[in-house]
Amino acid sequence: MRSAKLWSWIALIAGILYFFLPLIGMFEFSLRARRGEYSFDAYANVLGDPAFRATFGYSVLMALFTIAFGILLVVPTVFWVRLKLPRWRPVIEFITLLPLVIPPIVIVFGYIRLYNTSSWLPLTGSAMGTNLLLMFGYTMLALPYMYRAVDTGLRTIDVQTLTEAAQSLGAGWITIIARLILPNVLVAVLSGAFLTFAIVIGEFVLAALLNRPAFGPYMVWMGANKAYEPAALAVIAFVVTWACMALIQLVTRLSKHTRAQQR
């Protein structure tokens, strides 16, 4: 038993060293912009850079649109599959997992070739069209997480009975989904949304290959041209990721709390 304890501590301490040293390193490095002393100059430079604000704002907007579209796409699908096509659930679930199988760079390559200016759907012909294509691409990237979150959320409620009850009261499909299903899976939807946000905000490959002014390509450009600012950007990106995960935990915990109170 003593050796088990020893091994556990060794594994944990090695893990902590490996995972925390880069975080400390990136933070320390980001403070080095002024010669001879620590300062927040790198952060000031980054936050004062109009290109930072433009690209970060673009990515935030993109994330919000992706979340909205993802919810519109996934929630009715999960609901419908549970209600009407339970036998097809494994197939739909398999489709939603495909973005983890096919590398994103391959899919975006397909987009570029399939939706170019001379194709039947020339999405890359205009800035707006490319934005749309990027949003669809991000929705695709987030699909495995969004679908799983909502599917798990819907598992706890009796979709069949609730729907029949709503229908007998005269509710239509849109009412059922918006006022019955959505509130019930709100926590799951929010978890999926925050995860989507974390994925979209720093995404590089899709944005770079579709030539959109997103935060990911901006970070790579800074990495190639500046010394200390990239570390500051990494700290900012880490804080955003951490905030998203913390919000997921928070909504999950809050929902458990309110549910317990209702009982």
Partner 1 sequence: MTDLPPPSARRRVSLPLNWFGVAPFLLFALLFLFLPTMHIVLGAFRTPAGDFTLANIRGLFTPSIMNAFWISIRISLVTALLGCVAGFLIAAAVTRGPLPKPLRGFALTFSGVASNFAGVPLAFAFIATLGRLGFLTVILRDWFGFNLYGTGFNLISFLGLTLTYLYFQIPLMILIITPALDGLKREWREAAETLGATGAQYWRMVALPVLWPSFLGTFALLFANSFGAVATAMALTGSQLSIVPIILFAQIRGDVLQDPHLGYAIAFGMIVLTGLANLVYIVLRTRAERWVK
Radius of gyration (C-alpha) of the chain in whole angstroms: 22
Integer Cα distance of 255 and 247 in angstroms: 12
Nearer to partner 1, 77 or 131 (CB): 77
151-210 residues in contact with partner 1 (CB under 8 A) are 167, 170-173, 195, 198-199, 202-205, 208-209
Asked whether position 234 contacts partner 1 by CB under 8 A, the answer is: yes
Number of H-type helices and E-type strands within the chain: 13, 0
Instruction: Out of 62, 111, 146, 193, name the contact with partner 1 by CB under 8 A.
Output: 111
41-70 residues in contact with partner 1 (CB under 8 A) are none
Nearer to partner 1, 62 or 198 (CB): 198
Burial 181-200 (b: 16+ CB within 10 A, else e): bbebbebbbbbbbbbbbbbb
Name the minimum Å distance from CB 10 to partner 1. Answer: 8
Asked whether position 219 contacts partner 1 by CB under 8 A, the answer is: yes
Integer Cα distance of 155 and 151 in angstroms: 6
Instruction: Out of 34, 53, 113, 155, name the contact with partner 1 by CB under 8 A.
Output: 113
Instruction: Out of 102, 127, 165, 186, name the contact with partner 1 by CB under 8 A.
Output: 102
> How many Cβ atoms sit within 10 Å of the Cβ of residue 222?
21
Name the minimum Å distance from CB 263 to partner 1. Answer: 24
Integer Cα distance of 130 and 234 in angstroms: 27
